[in-house]
Structure 1
């Protein structure tokens, strides 16, 4: 596989494009927004500059990486030569099914179709295509250029051949692929999200404050980041979406989202992306706990 198409130029999409381009692949980055594409290229360039400053890459590598990325606002043009298509759009089932229906029609018959979903059923996404055996999950971790893990998720019909190809491809990126089966939340979020949700419940029930909860998990459990700060980093809307997938998929009340999380998302307090969540990310960029009720 030489030609990679990434659909969606947001945080995950530009990170995926960056990693493939840096490892010698030709990347087509597709988004309906030209502004989003330009922001993505700027983010990739800035991330490469940081790596250059730390002497992790050379100037030649930076230039080659950027030269390996082409951008498109028209899906058909960006997908025509793809050996692998990776969808990295918003975590919304209806949207993903719409995209997969389109890429199934436009991509070469030999193309493997992957989704970067963090919780949505690979099997259901594959059901709108005529090649379910060639549909697979590639769940990259954020930030993509730094995090080593890729969850490789087999849908009900995903073939052994496709799985082996994606496992091998992931290794060529310097990543550590882990094969899992297609059940709600897979492994990473099936375990992570209940922990985050319980931390939010502990805050909601006034067991402890934001700082105290995160400090216990960092110093007591050796987590690099507390669960509430991590939720801010992921995006509270994304956390809520994943918890809903888990709750709907298993019908188990232990996955029911905390009312505080629901209210914060409705209020637009989404974490780092909105400037405020459990912490305040103001002009100083210093994470301070917000609201006296959280302290």
Structure 2
């Protein structure tokens, strides 16, 4: 497929980042959102991101101007998608919301356009179940922040046809990312499925009073990890973590429903970076982590054993190849 225009639905952090990456690859892109304030914030996010790249010497001022010129903004869904070759949904992890968006998109999109969802956990077939043509919906899971993170999961739903799947796979390569093929539609796909037990594990550490977030994160960084688990959850959003655990409790195991600590944080509006406070207070997009000694109650093998167990399950179930995992 000759891709001349892409539409990204959702002007949040992920949608803005995805649009910037696509524009940087020389493709025209439009960000659609029903809220004009969200579009204004998205534009500022992209301008600020490009400015940082220029200051760091990664792109030139001319490159920045060209990338920005390829990004458009619209609050009119029909106008945004009617002539798009690929339409990427990047809204919160709420199945009903995603289904409604694709139902609306299907009414105004070209019949040969490829639809993609940036869901991080929800089965593609579940999102596609009300579509008249579910075969053209593909999972296209970017990681946060999309401008920096290289990996993209390309997920095949139960009805996804090979042409749509390969179109998205090739697009991922064209925009300079590293795609892996998720061949079986399962909750969490590969990366989040492997890390899912960790989210529960770190919740239970707090829920049972084993140790503090700062002690565990200090330990993680002492093991050469760029972020500890609690800082990472703050960065991603506590609400996102909770939505994921709730979904896993329904689709994978009821054990994921045992975590209540994160839910209390949502009630207190402590969602992390997006609200300025989660496990930590955030200033200038950086977590203020109290200095403390590394935890002696957590070992690296605790985490690795959880990851290896889940990875083996994925290989046994044919979700992805050992090489991709």
* TM-score normalised by the chain length of structure 1: 0.94
Segments of 5+ residues of structure 1 without an aligned counterpart are 291-295
Shift of 1:207: 1.2
Partner of residue 110, structure 2: 108
Shift of 1:215: 2.1
Partner of residue 213, structure 2: 210
Kept in 1, the 8 Å contact 2:87–2:113? The answer is yes
Kept in 1, the 8 Å contact 2:138–2:154? The answer is yes
Q: How far apart, in 1, do the equivalents of 2:82 and 2:89 lie?
A: 15
Partner of residue 231, structure 1: 233
Shift of 1:223: 2.3
Shift of 1:285: 4.8
Shift of 1:282: 4.7
Matches within 5 A, 1:88-237: 88-180=90-182, 181-220=184-223, 222-237=224-239
- Match of 1:256, SS? helix
Partner of residue 26, structure 2: 24
Aligned length: 288
Runs of 4+ with >4 A deviation = 282-286
Partner of residue 272, structure 1: 273
2:56 to 33, 50, 54: 54
Q: How far apart, in 2, do the equivalents of 1:124 and 1:76 lie?
A: 24
Segments of 5+ residues of structure 2 without an aligned counterpart are 292-325
Residue deviations 1:11-56, cap 9 Å, x none? 0000011011111111111001111111111110111111111111
CA, structure 1 residues 282+63, in 2 after alignment: closer, same or farther (shift >3 Å)?
closer
Q: How far apart, in 1, do the equivalents of 2:54 and 2:38 lie?
A: 24
CA RMSD of aligned residues (A): 1.6
Residue deviations 1:135-155, cap 9 Å, x none? 001010111111001011110
Residue deviations 1:220-266, cap 9 Å, x none? 3x32211111110110000000011111002341x225111111112
1:79 to 78, 81, 93: 81
* TM-score normalised by the chain length of structure 2: 0.85
Shift of 1:200: 2.1
